[in-house]
Each structure stands twice: as C-alpha cells, then as structure tokens.
Amino acid sequence: MDTTSGPVESTAPPAESGPAALRRTLHQRGLRMTPQRQLVLDAVRELGHATPEQICTQVQQAAPAVNITTVYRTLDLLERIGLVRHTHLGHGAPTYSEQEHQHVHLVCHSCGTVTESPTDLMDGLAQRLLAESDFVLDPSHVALSGRCRECRDEEGASR
Amino acid sequence: MDTTSGPVESTAPPAESGPAALRRTLHQRGLRMTPQRQLVLDAVRELGHATPEQICTQVQQAAPAVNITTVYRTLDLLERIGLVRHTHLGHGAPTYSEQEHQHVHLVCHSCGTVTESPTDLMDGLAQRLLAESDFVLDPSHVALSGRCRECRDEEGASR
DNA sequence: TTATCTGCAAATATTTTGCAAGGTA
DNA sequence: TACCTTGCAAAATATTTGCAGATAA
C-alpha cells in the first residue's frame, strides 16, 4: 500500500457529487484527481452494490486499459476519504456502494437474493447493544442472513 | 466436490456427541467414518470459532499428514449434515463452530475483537423481519459490525 | 470387492506488492 | 519539477478440482 498510506483523515464528504466535488475532496488531502478515480466512483454509483471485479468490468467499458489493481487501490482510497463503503453480504467478495447508500441488507442463504430495508429496522437493537454492551452498531456494514419467503415456501412444500 | 454431492439430507443431528454418534450420523446417510472426520469435528469443538486454516493446524498436531483440502471438504460435509455451521465475521475467512454454538457475534471493525451475545438479542428484530418482510432471520450466521467501547473511547480522545 | 475418501498437485480466485513509466499540480 | 498514480508482473492468500492410490464397509 503506497499511494494510500499516510495521514489521510476520514472526514465527511462534501454534499455535492460530481467531478468538481471529487477533485476538491482529493485536493483537500493532497491527493490527485485522475480519470480512473472518477470512473471508479461513477461505477460504484451506477452499480449500486458491486464487487471490485464487477466495478472493474464496468470501468473497462469506458476505459479498457484500467487495471483491476487500480480498482482495488481506488476503492480503498475512496473508502478512506468517506465517499464509498463496503458491505459484507456473506460469501464471496465484499460489495461497494456510495457512502450515503445506507440500509440493512437481508441475504437469503438459500437463493442468495439481497433485499434492502431501511436502517431504522435496527434502531431498537442498536439501542440495546449500546446500553448492554457499549457497542456502537454499524447497521449497514454486514448483511443479515436468513431465508426469504420464496425459499421457505419451497422448502416447506418439499419436506 | 465429489464426496459431498448427492442427496445428503440436512436433518437434526443426534443429541449425543462422540465417535459413536458421528459414525452413526454418517452411516445413516451412506457416508463413511474416518479418522480425519473425527479429528476435524473435534478441532471445531475445541477451538470454538476457527477458520479452516486454524482447524487444519489443530488437526495436524494429532495427524500431520492430514491435508487442508480434506479439512475444507470435511467442514463442508459436516455442515451439510448439520454438525457444524459457519459464521461470517466480516473480513477474512469464515469461521466454523458447533451447530449448537448459537449466538450473535459483535465484531469491532476497528480492533477486530469478537464478542458473543445471546441470540435473544435479535428476537425483536427477527419478529419484525418476519412480519414485515417474510424473512426468517438466522441470527448467528453473520456478525454484527460496529465499534466496541475501547475503540470508541480512543477515537473520542484523539479527535 | 467396491464405492467412498484422502493426499497431492495443479487450477482458480481474490487481493496485495514492487517497481518503472506516466500523469497531475 | 516533484511526487502521486498507474499498469504490469509477480507474489501472497484462499479455495476448489482432478485423479490415482488408500481405506471403510
């Protein structure tokens, strides 16, 4: 990790989005604006939730020469400066999305479908955790796992 | 996956544990008892939560020739027959534990510490998910992510 | 005896690192 | 110009697969 080390503080991103905003956010920290960084950020926004691999594919449609290494490094950097975040949906690679894209993920471990729910679903739990365990919950970082209705119905029928 | 495919039903394991119980459970499904399978199951029980790598290391203390491949295949099989389960604690490899070992995992994404809490912590959430989304929550399959008190205090002090 | 299992090697997949060339400010 | 970034190749990690020989039943 060479380009990403050093005192890069993680503060709140600017309210606007777009090329100028990204440039400013980068410059504030002594980082440079590059086409690759804009493309990766655009891809994250367009794809919603995507693995580094998927993001790379998307970016390469506009700029085929961009290397997956750059995608990894850029996602890392964008996360550190607070523009994107990653979520573990269970198996497989983490997925990246916009920082603002906050909600609870429900993953069916039968069919793999990912559903999104508002984060206030976790409010009660978050309060309990804070009170009982002094633990500040990040409700959107990991997915909740279980079984969706479709899979439950199927299983119920076949048993 | 050759030894593990086929119609292996996932029913409840027997109440007792031990070599005889494992043998019986395997034979019920036309599978064979082997020293490796017992060793892997023992390691899972001894280690509590462990990655395939850690389990392999543990097994190899008793039987150095056991290959990591066998550990992966065996964990897969033991999971399919309901004796072990795996949990995603966030980054890194999944960890395996006994099926009975059910609780909610709280992972601090600053320091990585894993805390365990009783699953009834999630009861309210589980009910809401069932009512609102027809989603049957598996409270122990994925960890909850957040920040533990120690890390919050440190961060608060440095800011 | 026979089908299941295992160990080994190799293939995949994912992510990281070193480094020289290229690009931004 | 200075040094941040990128692309490429290679390394490091994690997991899976093919297959021949070993083994349980």
Span B36-70, pLDDT tens digits: 999 999 999 999 899 999 999 999 999 999 999 99
Contact flag A125-B129 (C-beta cutoff 8 Å): no
Specify whether the CB–CB gap between B83 and B29 falls below 8 A. no
The span from the CA of A137 to the CA of B106, in Å, is: 9
B8-36 per-position pLDDT tens digit: 444 444 456 778 999 999 999 999 999 99
| Percent of chain B clearing pLDDT 90 (strictly above) | 60
| Protein CA at B109 to nucleotide C1' at C13, angstroms | 25
Measure Cα distances from A151 to A8, A111, A113, B9 in Å: 45, 7, 10, 16
The span from the CA of B96 to the CA of B47, in Å, is: 9
What's the whole-number average pLDDT of chain B?
Answer: 86
A95-109 per-position pLDDT tens digit: 999 998 788 889 888
To probe the interface with B, which of A85, A89, A130, A135 has the most B CB atoms within 10 Å?
Answer: A135
What is the structure's pLDDT at B109?
Answer: 81
A108-126 per-position pLDDT tens digit: 888 878 888 898 899 999 9
Name the DSSP letter for residue B13: P
A113 at B interface, C-beta within 8 A = no
Res. A90: pLDDT tops 90: no
What's the whole-number average pLDDT of chain A?
Answer: 86
Place of tokens 């905003």: A21
B122 at A interface, C-beta within 8 A = yes
| Percent of chain A clearing pLDDT 70 (strictly above) | 87
Q: What is the mean pLDDT of residues A69-89?
A: 95
B81-120 per-position pLDDT tens digit: 999 999 988 777 899 999 987 889 998 888 888 888 998 9
What is the structure's pLDDT at B152?
Answer: 85
Res. A77: pLDDT tops 50: yes
